Chains A and B, each alone.
Chain A
Amino acid sequence: MIITVTPNPAMDEGYTVSELRPGRWFRAKDVNRSPGGRGINASIVLKQLGYDSVATGFLAGFSGAYIRNNMLERGISTNFVNIKGENRTNTYIFEELGGLETAVTDVGPTVYEDAQKRLMWNLDRLLPRATAVLMGGSLPPGVPVGFFKDVINRVKRKNIPIYIDAFGKALDLAIEALPTVVKIDHRFMNTIRGVDLSTLDHLIEISQKIFDEGVDWVITSYFNHSNVFCTTKGFFLAEIKPERIFTFRSANDALMAGMVVAREERMGLEDTIRFAMACVQENVRYAEKGVPSREAVDAALGDICVEKIER
């Protein structure tokens, strides 16, 4: 069983408009609504790939009820802590003219200490049955910046692999606890530990540093279509086929879900990279969240270009 942790779940609303300009009103041509947040997105992809997971985190209000019910309809197990307030609504507007996506993300409800304790209690209950834990995203108000680090320490005590995709100080602290797989999300951060994340050289430099500290896999995005993987066998640059890209909305979550599945199935190192990237490719092609099916991901494996970076 795989556990996903989403401290700040959201209701994702994707609107497609022909043209978007500030200061004007637009009518959507298409609306796509789905539960969101890193762990939740990963749970959806895992289900599509044939893997059961238990989604955990904090749910609140009308959007929280929507998230829970939608997960239930998808057949995904849940063990959320219900709190007061309202979960986020994240708005994504896709403009057909320029093929560009604009996003506005919400803040989230305040999560008090008793709810945090309850989540940790739930996690401790689930961990004896877990084979992997996947988490990430932003932290809602009230949750201390050391939240991910705390969870990693709990999971590592049970010798269970833990995957994290986050940013900022919360990620910095999480790395100190040495998770198994780290995805550095630099949509929300330009530097990590003072290193600018704009060039391949810098990505390699910082990945190497984190790897040397004891993280098995360090993944960073390089432009839109590629990821740099720092592994026990060196650096790899992997690229999806840059055709028919609709949205990068939950691409990182598809990547992480793919990593979990590849490692659960004990794929080889390069096959793991290829499988995770195939999940990304099948995710970015559609407005619907996640990937169409396991078959679609398997069929996309041949499209992925994996290249070893010699240094």
Chain B
Amino acid sequence: MQVRDIMDRDLTSLAEGSTLLQAIALMAAHKMSGLPVLNDDGRVVGFISEKDVLRAVIPGYLGYMDDNFAMPDIEKIKARVRLVGNDVVRDYMSKRVIVFDEYETVSNAMVTMFKKDIRRAPVVASSSLVGVVDREEILKGFVRDNFEEGEVAIAMPEASGA
């Protein structure tokens, strides 16, 4: 099975010059946790995730949040969103983005995604965006590819009180 067989063929994406606020709005409207960033020729030049946006809005806070006593100051965050909201995506996206060719095997893609700890990755055909894969679909594809139907049953909890 190849990536093209399981990928999401939705081409929702951002431009390098899109603002962070536009990125947030688009992620929310499309319920996507990350979006590919394209240049004017439709080539993938980056990827921006919710985490990248969060990092831009509250730099340094991510580590600080691990502390149980950390209380983020919402007013400060609001001010920060106003400050960086109109910054361009180019400045905050991951530029060394992992991209799969549409003919890449699902197994290879799975290994790469786990190794590099990425959740979503763009899929390209001759450098142009043709889709996106996420770990969930990759796992599903891997199971479908390597196990007989029925071999992997969904475990249901026993009914209680019977």
The B-contacting residues of A in range 25-50, CB under 8 angstroms, are none
Question: Contact flags (1/0) for A58-99 with B, using CB distance below 8 Å?
Answer: 000000000010011001111110110000000000000000
Q: Which residues of B contact A129 (CB under 8 A)?
A: 42, 128
Supposing A82-B29, A125-B38 touch, asked if A72 and B128 sit within 8 A by C-beta, the answer is: no
Q: Shortest beta-carbon distance, A265 to chain B, in Å?
A: 21
Q: Tell yes or no: A128 within 8 A of B by CB.
A: yes
Supposing A82-B29, A83-B29, A129-B128 touch, asked if A72 and B42 sit within 8 A by C-beta, the answer is: no
Q: Nearest residue in A to B8 (C-beta to C-beta)?
A: A72
Question: Contact flags (1/0) for A158-185 with B, using CB distance below 8 Å?
Answer: 0000000000000000000000000000
Distance of A121 Cα from B13 Cα, bound (Å): 11
Supposing A125-B42, A126-B42, A128-B41 touch, asked if A79 and B8 sit within 8 A by C-beta, the answer is: no
Distance of A77 Cα from B41 Cα, bound (Å): 18
What total count of A-B pairs have CB within 8 Å? 37
Q: Shortest beta-carbon distance, B2 to chain A, in Å?
A: 13
Distance of A122 Cα from B41 Cα, bound (Å): 12
* Interface size grouping (class) on chain B: 10 to 19
CB of B11 within 8 A of CB of A54, answer: yes
CB of A79 within 8 A of CB of B12, answer: yes
CB of B41 within 8 A of CB of A72, answer: no
Distance of A54 Cα from B11 Cα, bound (Å): 9
CB of B130 within 8 A of CB of A77, answer: yes
Q: Which residues of B contact A122 (CB under 8 A)?
A: 11
CB of B29 within 8 A of CB of A77, answer: no
Q: Tell yes or no: B141 within 8 A of A by CB.
A: no
Question: Contact flags (1/0) for B4-18 with A, using CB distance below 8 Å?
Answer: 000011111101000
Q: Which residues of A contact B12 (CB under 8 A)?
A: 79-80
CB of A77 within 8 A of CB of B42, answer: no
Q: Shortest beta-carbon distance, B61 to chain A, in Å?
A: 29
Q: Tell yes or no: B30 within 8 A of A by CB.
A: yes
Q: Which residues of B contact A68 (CB under 8 A)?
A: 10
Question: Contact flags (1/0) for B39-59 with A, using CB distance below 8 Å?
Answer: 011100000000000000000
CB of B10 within 8 A of CB of A72, answer: yes
Supposing A125-B42, A129-B128 touch, asked if A72 and B9 sit within 8 A by C-beta, the answer is: yes
Q: Tell yes or no: B131 within 8 A of A by CB.
A: yes
Supposing A82-B29, A125-B38 touch, asked if A77 and B128 sit within 8 A by C-beta, the answer is: no
Q: Shortest beta-carbon distance, A117 to chain B, in Å?
A: 11
Distance of A126 Cα from B12 Cα, bound (Å): 11
CB of B41 within 8 A of CB of A78, answer: no
Q: Name the one of B8, B30, B38, B130 contacting A82, with C-beta atoms under 8 angstroms.
A: B30
Distance of A78 Cα from B42 Cα, bound (Å): 15
Question: Contact flags (1/0) for B142-157 with A, using CB distance below 8 Å?
Answer: 0000000000000000
Which 4 pairs of residues, A with B, have the shortest CB-CB distance? A77-B9, A79-B11, A82-B29, A78-B10
Show 29 A/B contacts (Cβ-Cβ < 8 Å), sorted by A.
A54-B11, A71-B9, A72-B8, A72-B9, A72-B10, A75-B9, A77-B9, A77-B11, A77-B130, A77-B131, A78-B9, A78-B10, A79-B10, A79-B11, A80-B10, A80-B12, A82-B29, A83-B29, A121-B15, A122-B11, A125-B13, A125-B15, A125-B38, A125-B40, A126-B11, A126-B42, A128-B41, A128-B42, A129-B128
